[in-house]
Amino acid sequence: MKEEISIDEFDGKKFKIRFVEEEDNRKAVITHYLHNYHNGVKKHYEKEAIEYLNQIVRYKNEEEELNYVSDVALQQLLFEVENVPFPTPENYTFKFIDLFAGIGGFRLALQNLGGKCVFTSEWDEYAKKTYRANFGETPFGDITKESTKSFIPDNFNVLCGGFPCQPFSNAGLKKGFEDTRGTLFFDVADIINRKKENGNPIDIIFLENVKGLKNHDKGKTLKTIVKTLNTLGYEVKTETLNSRNFGIPQNRERIFIVAWLKNKNKDFNFPLGINEKEEIIYKKEDLINIKTTKVRDILIKNPEEKYTISDKLYAGHIRRRKEHKEKGNGFGFSSVNENSQYTSTISARYYKDGSEILIEQKDLNPRKLTPREAANLQGYPSKYIIPVSDNQAYKQFGNSVSVPVIQAVFNEIKKQLL
């Protein structure tokens, strides 16, 4: 059959006018349904998915005078979502949901260790585009809305995500997860509580956040999170880990929260990686294989000239660094060479001027990282697709987790707790 049908058909203006409501999850429902087509999870999405599939088939037939049948359309869409760089492992051993998913750093790590993702959500449309290009799935949208939460299936083992850090206005440590209302952590706690109450408690909660969470709101924010998880029936451990100790040449500290059901009667120890002298900081049998790296390990050959910063921008960087130094605050642009042990932390603002990480060049102004190098700096594999503009890519990798750190921690979770 020459005619083709695609998930992108749902983005057509005429289709939207005819079918789409204000809060629309059609692409998410269809792709989640197709991704779970060969297992029991598909039933959770089946009713709505078939309805949406029939809508698009009817629309295509009427608009383009075709004679599509649903079975043919389904097979074409099934191929589309499965023919991606990072498909679900065939012989998966556990199931997880991916909240505040970004571009899939958690998903990459957990799939590498035998996990199957059965639900994902992310509100940013550009991140959704990158996520779908690599995993074949469009994430659901705003996790605070019931129309999104209602699609979370039962019977999965792990909830993971890098939730945004927000202050709690009522951090009284008295009402359990009620203390977290008005924050995005409340929605994490709400999901945990719902699954507990319907008899399908989640085995493991695995969260990541900025290092500042530790002292956020004078420490009350983290205390409330831990207390909330305790109230919901979980043992909790937290640890601040640095990407540079896990085979990534980047000085990036993040706090990790691991919680497991109290009735498991187990304990958990974080892997702390290795330092620059290749000394194991936390030694455990079968510690995931980590090697020390240098900046040269993430650089590409012959980057385009457009990444070399202009004379005007370079002069501005030098001026600002001098001003910061005179004020005694020590801030300014950060340049490294290929033999440096690590870079500073890449952030979502990197697209603005690249000041936090500039690569020195012989007889030239320094240059920014390319998007591919930004991906390398966060541990994303070379076949990872970057389908967005440079600016969006910098934002996405700056907001992402370092994949090897997630994988090292979950490797220990899997051995110790699952």
Q: Would you say residue 179 has pLDDT above 70?
A: no
Q: Residues 123-138: what's their mean pLDDT?
A: 97
For the chain, give the mean pLDDT.
Answer: 89
CB atoms near residue 29 (< 10 Å): 24
Q: Would you say residue 184 has pLDDT above 70?
A: yes
Q: Would you say residue 20 has pLDDT above 90?
A: no
pLDDT tens for each residue of 132-149: 999 999 999 999 999 999
Q: Is the Cβ–Cβ distance between 406 and 208 less than 8 Å?
A: yes
Catalytic residues: 165
Contact residues for 332 (Cβ-Cβ < 8 A; gap 6+):
317, 320, 321, 322, 324, 325, 355
Q: Would you say residue 170 has pLDDT above 50?
A: no
Q: Would you say residue 392 has pLDDT above 50?
A: yes
pTM for this predicted structure: 0.92
| pLDDT band (50, 70, 90) for residue 1 | very low
For residue 245, give the H/E element and its range.
Answer: none
CATH numbers and ranges of domains, the chain = 7-82 (no CATH), 94-289+400-416 (3.40.50.150), 295-383 (3.90.120.10)
pLDDT of residue 282: 53
pLDDT of residue 63: 86
pLDDT tens for each residue of 351-371: 998 989 999 999 999 999 999
pLDDT tens for each residue of 278-290: 665 554 444 456 7
pLDDT tens for each residue of 214-262: 888 788 888 989 999 999 999 999 999 999 999 999 999 999 999 999 9
